[in-house]
Chain A
Amino acid sequence: MRLCSITLHDVRRFTDTVRIEGIGPGVSVLTAPNEQGKSTLFDALQALFFQPHSSKAREVKSLRPHAGGAPVVSAEIETGEGRFRITKRWLSRPIAEVRQDSRLVAKGDVAEEWIAAQVRAGAHGGPAGLLWVRQGLTALDGGEKSDKPARLVRRDLLSSVAGEVDAMTGGRRMERARGRCEAELGDLVTNSGKSKAGGPLKAAEDELVTLEGRHAELSRLSEEMRGALEERRRLRRESDELHDPAQSEAARIRLEDVRGALESAKRHAERLDQAGELTETARKARDHAAERLAALRKGRAALAECSRNVDDTVNAEAEASQSATDAEAARANASRALTAARKVVAEAEQSLRQLASAERAAEARKRRKALSAQIDNARTLHKNLRSAQSTASAGPTDKALAALEAAVNDLRVQEALQEQSAPWVTMRYARPEAPRARLAGGAELEDGKAVALPRGADIELPGLGTLAVNPGTRADSDDALAAARATLEARLAAIGASTAEKARAMGAARRQAETKLREIRAALAAVAPDGVATLEAELAALGESDDAAGQPDTDLPDRNAIELALSEARSTLDAADRAAERAVALAQAASIGLARATAGREAAERRLAEAKAALSEFADAELEENQRAEALREAEAHFSDAAAKAKRLAEAAPDLAVVDAAVRRAQSVVAANEARLRELDRRLAELDTLIDVRAGEGIEEELADTAERLARARERLDQLTFERDMLSLLRAELDTARTAAREHYFKPVTRELQPLLNILWPDAVLSFDDETVLPSVLVRNGQEEPIDVLSGGTREQIALLVRLAFARLLARGGRPAPIILDDALVFTDDDRIERMFDALHRQADDMQILVLSCRQRAFRALGGTALGFVRGALPEEAA
């Protein structure tokens, strides 16, 4: 549908007929100051399309002029079927007509239906058609009308597409179904999916846990009861068996049997002991006989042996006696040779002692003489030393000389400085023969030679007069020179010399004396290092000279000859000494050998006597030996008999330990039975008590009951778990389907919207809220901005762009709808408004946009077709 012209009559301020013509495709603009009827035009158009001609609604009544009248609104439109004029009058003689050219197409309610069909959506009903945007109604979320519920805002925004959105997303039916699903699920689980406290699922889980615990406890008690019953049966059987008289009698007989066996075994053991004792006695008798026989045989063998020994030792003693005699003779010879050798040595030693005494006397004399000479030399050196010390102490020291040399040098420096600053005079004679100038009272000035005159001078110039040369005043130089001189003189005075040369000569003499002094000291140290007194003491110790008593040194005997003789004598003595020792040792050994041989003979003789004495009791030793041998054979026979008898007894003896153990075992069986009976009685009493207590409690009944309850609780929990899973599945499927449907629907909207958004913000993206289906977040430069924090201008722009996108969508769907904007951009600044105009023109390519604005200057730049109110005539049907 496209608007072509609009005619108003008796509509508010327009009591005359006014008309807007030339509304073309694309953008058409009506700009006029306030109070010129733009909003009246907007309301009149809305009434034409949405208010029945019979309506007396507030919106209709508001159209009537103050002076009264019946509002008439007529519009020419173009549809796919041609051009039509629709006209409505309200309140008085209301009409509704649709005409094509002058042909009446529809009238009254039919006309209303025809008009409604132009603004209605397709198959699913619901409003569609004009997109009306007026000042104050551009907000997306209530905006200035903040109390407006989001649902109503959505309806405003999406009134033209609400039917489609609802159809796609399920609308209220979906919301209610999902709400019920959510509510039923909410009874079972929390938002996080856990079983809800106080809910049936949690209760079922808790009941199951409780019943499982109870069942386990009852099972335990039941098992305990069964165990107790089983144990009591077993113990009773055992008790009965233990109380069985036959069994008791058998135990008693068994005990008596083993006790009899024990007594018998003990008696056998006694017999065995006796046989053992007899055996031992026979063994001892046999051993004694054997010993007696052995002793006799041994005595006889010893007698024979002793006789042989006596003969042997007599021969040995004779041989030893001869050896001792020979050795003693050899020892006497050796002793004599030794004595002679000792005498020769003593004589040689005496000669050597005499020679030594003579040598010591000669040495003492020689030493005294040397010491005297040394002492004399030392005394002379001491004298020279004192002289040299006196000389060396006179004259300047090296330090004083150095100071003096420094002063001399300083004076020379000062004099040189004074000379350099002195006036110089150079005389150049005009002729060689010219008379020579001369210093007053001094030398003649040579031709061309410079002469310094530090203190000035008078120069006599022959024939001319005297030239006085005066140096300038140089007080500092003179003072330094005077100071240098004073220093030099002071140092000369300190040294005691009149000139520097003398001082230097004095210094040289001093150094020479010091050198000599060192030489004397060195000589003295060599001659008497410990002093003269030491030398004198040594001399005194040597005593007086014995030169008169002593023989001259040359008379002393030959020491080497004496020492050679002594050495030979000592060697002889040593050989004699060793020979004597050997002879003594041999003599001693021979003597000992003789003594031993004698002792051996004596011992052999004693043993022989003893052997003879031992056998003396027997008249016939051989006969005695035969008798003893016979006695031994008899004793051995006795012993064998006794041992065999004991062995037979031992082999036949019962094992006393085994028999004793059998007795103990039999006794323990009786005792254990008694103890076991006591234990059984105690335990049976315990079990009786336990069973009595448990039996009345009906534990198995309760166990069976609990088991069935448990099974029922499991079924219940399974049912609730299934219910939970089923509701979760249903909710998930509903959510998934709804989200998919919305995306399916909004994708084209977004596709249309995106280029419009990019006109204002190149990278902007607008997202829609799943619940309200309203724009919710604008993303610009990567930043997410909720719509409600954006400025009024930005929200206004977004609202308009969203409508433009929807309008384009409708146009693409074959239901083009004009967009009518009544001062829709009141908050938009100049820069943005230019871009919004671009957006409007972009959309207007295949759509009709009617813009009403009081902002004449701002909207001048919008372009498009300019509209204006013109005076016109009523359509004939309304006239």
Chain B
Amino acid sequence: MDPVRFIHSADLHLGKRFARYPEEIRGRLIEARHNILGRLARAAREAGAAHVLLAGDIFDTETPSRRIWQQAIAAMAADAEVHWWLLPGNHDSLAAEALWDSIAAQAPANVHLLTTSEAVELAPGAMLLPAPLPRRRPGRDLTAVIGETPTPDGVLRIGLAHGPILDFSEDGQAADEIIAPDRADQAGLDYLALGDWHGQMCINARTWYSGTPERDGFRHEGRGACLAVTLDGPAVEPEIRPVEIGQFHWQESALALLPGQDAALVLRDALPPDRRARRDHLLRLRATGRASLAGQAALHVAADEVEGDFGHFEFVTDALATEFEQADLDAIDRVGALRIAAEKLAASARDAEGSAESRRLAEAALNRLYSYLMEERE
């Protein structure tokens, strides 16, 4: 038999609005999610695959606006040679009757809705065994039925399901919804294509999470990808090839600082070197450790300078403590009221008996006082 090739992807979350992010990046993120359909189709063509299996959460909600799903259908219809197999996940479960009814009514011939757990022929000699989610919380391992679904002898059995194998805590699934990690073996599957985990993960040789093709948060670093899967025949181990297709690179890094360091330099070293690529880079830097008043001031100046390079840049200093050096306090004033106020704030910032909030306030106030006086000096 001819090898069966397909693209395994999931968790597109079309319609996600990224409202937590600034306006400058929101529109681009939303647009990138829509564009991922074209990138998937291109990946399929490049891999010689005629099918794209979407393992759930194609849409971000059960009631996406008409514009979202119609444009998605239109994008899928653009290449009639590529067949899209759509499995309802927990975000767009079968409870979204209106959505699936509407899509069913308008779906072109190359778009296939998998709304029941009946086996369907993916390609000659290959049967697709879907486990659509009837509702957001099905309350059981839906893949159990896959093992009981008969298929003709000698055909490839490809499972398609959505849910956690571990408690990913993406949505806090109950333990009884967790998919058996050895489901592929139990159910005699040649490949089990899973969705739900937004990062890419290999459970075993026949069981993979593809991850979302376009990242949507800092939890999973890097760019989104899909899997190009080739099944040469029953009982033959599948060939899996990750294909990076996402537009945006998400990164969250810790910036560990020591008082003696040149904090600004440490920050600059932590940045991706390719300035041009930073435009599609979302970076969250979490400063930790300690820095002097001068170091903190320099750090903020440096952060302000590079912020504009990035598609989105967050510089988080909650965990960065201020190291008060004698020279810092002298820079504020050697004697007098300013020195008294600075020492009082420094003492409050160091006061172990005070609340964390009061320490943080005192530290920030001291930093602010320092910056006032330094700016004046400049």
Chain A contacts to B: CB under 8 angstroms: 167-171, 173-174, 176-177, 180-181, 222, 225-226, 229-230, 232-233, 691-692, 694-709, 711-712, 722, 725-727, 729-730, 733-734, 736-738, 740-741
Contacts and interface: CB of A to CB of B under 8 A. Distances in A.
B344 interface: yes
A6 B373 CA distance: 47
B368 A727 contact: yes
Interface string B227-251: 0000000000000000000000000
Nearest to A168: B336
A741 B336 contact: yes
A704 B368 contact: no
A734 B338 CA distance: 7
Given A698-B65, A730-B365, A737-B341, A169 B336 contact: yes
Contacts of A740: 337, 340
B17 interface: yes
B154 to A, nearest CB: 38
Contacts of A232: 97
Contact of B17 (A173, A174, A177, A705): A705
Nearest to B94: A233
B65 A701 contact: yes
A170 B338 contact: yes
Contact of A730 (B17, B62, B368): B368
A722 to B, nearest CB: 7
A740 B102 CA distance: 75
B151 to A, nearest CB: 29
B20 A708 contact: yes
A733 B345 contact: yes
A725 B357 CA distance: 10
B64 to A, nearest CB: 6
A229 B97 contact: yes
A30 B20 CA distance: 83
Contacts of A703: 61
A701 B98 contact: no
A599 B335 CA distance: 155
Given A229-B98, A695-B98, A698-B65, A708 B17 contact: yes
Interface residues of B, number: 40
Q: Which 10 A-B pairs have the closest CB atoms?
A: A698-B65, A700-B61, A708-B19, A695-B98, A705-B17, A737-B341, A730-B365, A737-B340, A741-B337, A737-B337
A736 B341 contact: yes
B333 interface: yes
Contacts of A708: 17-20
A722 B361 contact: yes
Contacts of A736: 341, 344
B63 A734 contact: no
A727 B15 CA distance: 41
Nearest to A176: B376
A711 B369 contact: no
Contacts of A181: 368-369, 372
Contacts of B62: 226, 229, 700
A635 to B, nearest CB: 80
B97 A709 contact: no
A691 B15 CA distance: 19
Interface of B: 15-20, 60-68, 95-99, 102, 333, 335-338, 340-341, 344-345, 360-362, 364-365, 368-369, 372-373, 376
Nearest to A710: B19
Contacts of B95: 226, 229-230, 233
A726 B338 contact: no
A238 to B, nearest CB: 16
B364 A699 contact: no
B19 A696 contact: no
Given A168-B335, A181-B369, A233-B97, 11 more contacts: A169-B337, A170-B336, A173-B376, A174-B338, A694-B63, A695-B102, A698-B61, A701-B63, A708-B18, A726-B368, A736-B344
22 contacts: A167-B335, A169-B337, A173-B338, A173-B373, A174-B337, A177-B338, A177-B369, A222-B63, A229-B62, A229-B95, A233-B97, A694-B63, A699-B63, A700-B61, A701-B63, A701-B64, A701-B68, A704-B60, A709-B19, A722-B361, A730-B345, A736-B341
Contact of A701 (B60, B102, B361): B60
Contacts of A229: 62, 95-98
B368 A225 contact: no
B338 A705 contact: no
A208 to B, nearest CB: 14
A700 B63 contact: yes
A729 B361 contact: yes
A701 B17 contact: yes
A79 to B, nearest CB: 27
Contacts of B333: 170, 173
Given A176-B372, A177-B338, A701-B63, A712 B20 contact: yes
Contact of B63 (A168, A171, A233, A695): A695
A541 B139 CA distance: 144
Contacts of B338: 170, 173-174, 177, 734, 737
A730 B65 contact: no
A406 B337 CA distance: 128
Contact of B98 (A176, A692, A738, A741): A692
Contacts of B344: 733, 736-737
B372 A180 contact: yes
A55 to B, nearest CB: 33
In this complex, the member of B102, B362, B364, B365 whose beta carbon has the largest number of chain A beta carbons within 10 angstroms is: B365
A722 B166 CA distance: 39
Nearest to B61: A700
A691 to B, nearest CB: 5
A741 B19 CA distance: 50
B365 A733 contact: yes
A697 B66 CA distance: 7
Contacts of A173: 333, 338, 373, 376
Nearest to A708: B19
Contacts of A705: 17, 19
B63 A729 contact: no
A727 B369 CA distance: 9
Contacts of B376: 173, 176-177
Contacts of B372: 176-177, 180-181
B72 to A, nearest CB: 13
Contacts of A702: 17
Given A225-B63, A741-B336, A701 B15 contact: yes
Given A708-B17, A722-B361, A733-B345, A697 B63 contact: yes
A403 to B, nearest CB: 128
Contacts of B96: 229
A184 B65 CA distance: 43
A685 to B, nearest CB: 15
B19 A712 contact: yes
B61 A704 contact: yes
A354 to B, nearest CB: 144
Contacts of A695: 63, 66, 98-99, 102
Contacts of B66: 695-696, 698
Nearest to A742: B337
A170 B337 contact: yes
Nearest to A696: B66
